[in-house]
Amino acid sequence: MVDATTFDLRQHVGGNSHSSGVWIALIALIAFGLLRYENFGGAYNISSFLNFNAMFIVIAVGMCFVIMTGGIDLSVGSVAAFTSVVAAYLSPYGLQVALPGTIAAGIAIGALNGFFVVAMRIPPFIATLATMLGAKGGALVISGAQTISIDWSSNFTKLGMEQAFGILPWTIVVTGIVVVGLWIVLERTSLGRTVLAIGGGEDASVMMGLSVIRAKFFVYTLSGGCAGLAGLFLASGFGAGQPLEGVGWELSAIASVVVGGTLLTGGMGSIPATVAGALLLGLVFNILNFENGRGVISLSAYWQMVIRGGFLFVVILFQSRVARASAKETS
């Protein structure tokens, strides 16, 4: 029976027409930036852009797995803030302790989400809303509502402030490993097929004998671990644990997943397209900052959010039209 779930796997993983809009928009924005701004393609801008957006990418790919099952995780921003404080406290012991310790803290909260959703049958929206509030409150309690400075004498800042082999930031190297690993899990393993099958129909998946409970617990635990890694990036890259950060990160992650063609109802998703969605949203801010630097216009951060929201709407509208046109052709 499990083999029956593999029939549409490539279509579901690739996203096809549902994800084409994000690639077109991403390529168009990159071309626009290269043509309009002198230093847009420079090593400094590329490195800074990737380094800053690495934490949003890892949160988005974790969120993608949750949404593919038809669930949602509202806690990722608060978990990132909480784990950034944990990372700052662990920084005197170096990356060898801070890295596994911080990710473990995120995994623990993700596992709690999984327990609420799977064992207690609490709707994902309510369960993760509760942990969102709990993680945010926990971050404020353990930090005393203050930013927690890291230990600069250890190797903790290497992850967020140095480049691997003088080429790419360590954050994007680690993110690349995570993305490739999760892409393999989704496309090449029975667990990935089960995740997609759950989104397509949980009751049917149970009847087919798939490991639904294990898969659902896995995706929430994974999402928490990805948020923990983002918190590590945050503390290491900015030199402090920041309990007040992470506000709205869950919305950015959801937007990245949706722009990448993953259905909110589950059953379809693409890890590469989700990464493209996260990069696209970050690129909009990057271009607006360049435009501000030219002095032609001067947009505050608030107006930049409005413009990014409008751009997001246009991309999703384009995707829906492409998907409808594709559906008509195949019918």
pLDDT tens across 47-94, in order?
999 999 999 999 999 999 999 999 999 999 999 999 999 999 999 999
Q: What is the pLDDT of residue 173?
A: 96
250 lies in a domain? yes
* CA separation for the pair 179, 276 (Å, rounded): 12
241 lies in a domain? yes
| DSSP letter, residue 269 | -
DSSP string of 148-181? Answer: EE--TTSSTTHHHH-EETTTEEHHHHHHHHHHHH
C-alpha gyration radius of the chain: 20
242 lies in a domain? yes
CATH number at residue 137: 1.10.3470
pTM of the model: 0.89
**Confidence check: pLDDT of 1 > 60:** no
* CA separation for the pair 48, 43 (Å, rounded): 8
Stretch 281-310: mean pLDDT: 78
Stretch 314-330: mean pLDDT: 67
329 lies in a domain? no
| Number of domains within the chain | 1
* CA separation for the pair 281, 179 (Å, rounded): 18
328 lies in a domain? no
**Confidence check: pLDDT of 100 > 50:** yes
Range of the domain at 307: 2-323
Nearest to 278 by CA among 258, 250, 256, 262: 256
Q: What is the pLDDT of residues 234-252, one digit of tens each?
A: 999 999 999 999 988 998 8
* CA separation for the pair 76, 177 (Å, rounded): 20
Stretch 192-197: mean pLDDT: 94
